[in-house]
């Protein structure tokens, strides 16, 4: 039941796509990053979006990478 409700919420996410929350940084990319995945999840739920989590390891300065 809870799952059904969640996906009902997610369904609306694809119809409305408002601007991303405040206090986000790009770090030289075109993506707006918030500080933690937890924060991203909360905003995504509120704004009815999906979450993208980038896992970065080490120093991978490769122009083709990110």
Partner 1 sequence: MGALNNPAVGKYVNEFFVSSYQKVATFQIVNGNKQGGNVAAYFCAPDGRVLHCVAGPVNAQTFLREAKWVVETAKECIEKSKGDGAKFKELFRKAHSAKLKQDFGIVVEAITYDPPDPMDEKDALTYRDPTGRPLAPKLPPPPIDGPDVTLGEKKFEELQKAAATAPGNRIALDGKGRKVVVTNQSLVHQIMAAHSLVPIERVYGTVFENILGEKISTKPVNVVQPFTWVDKDGNRLKPVKPLPPGGIKPVKPLLPPNGPVPPNGLAPIKP
Q: Minimum distance from CB of 50 to partner 1 (Å)? A: 5
Does residue 10 contact residue 48 with C-beta atoms inside 8 Å? yes
**SS3 assignment, position 10:** helix
Applying CB under 8 A, does 4 fall inside the site for partner 1? yes
Applying CB under 8 A, does 53 fall inside the site for partner 1? yes
Residues 6 or more apart whose Cβ sits within 8 Å of residue 18: 47
Q: Minimum distance from CB of 35 to partner 1 (Å)? A: 7
Indicate the Cα dihedral angle 10, 16, 18, 21, nearest 10°.
-10
Applying CB under 8 A, does 22 fall inside the site for partner 1? no
Which residues are near partner 1 by CB under 8 A? 3-11, 13-14, 17, 20-21, 24-37, 39-41, 43-45, 47, 49-66
């Amino acid at each position: 039941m809870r799952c059904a409700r969640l996906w009902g919420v997610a369904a609306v996410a694809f119809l409305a796509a408002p601007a991303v929350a405040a206090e986000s940084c790009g770090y030289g990319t075109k993506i707006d990053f918030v500080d933690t995945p937890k924060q991203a999840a909360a905003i995504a739920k509120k704004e009815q979006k999906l979450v993208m989590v980038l896992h970065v390891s080490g120093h991978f300065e490769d122009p083709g990478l990110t």
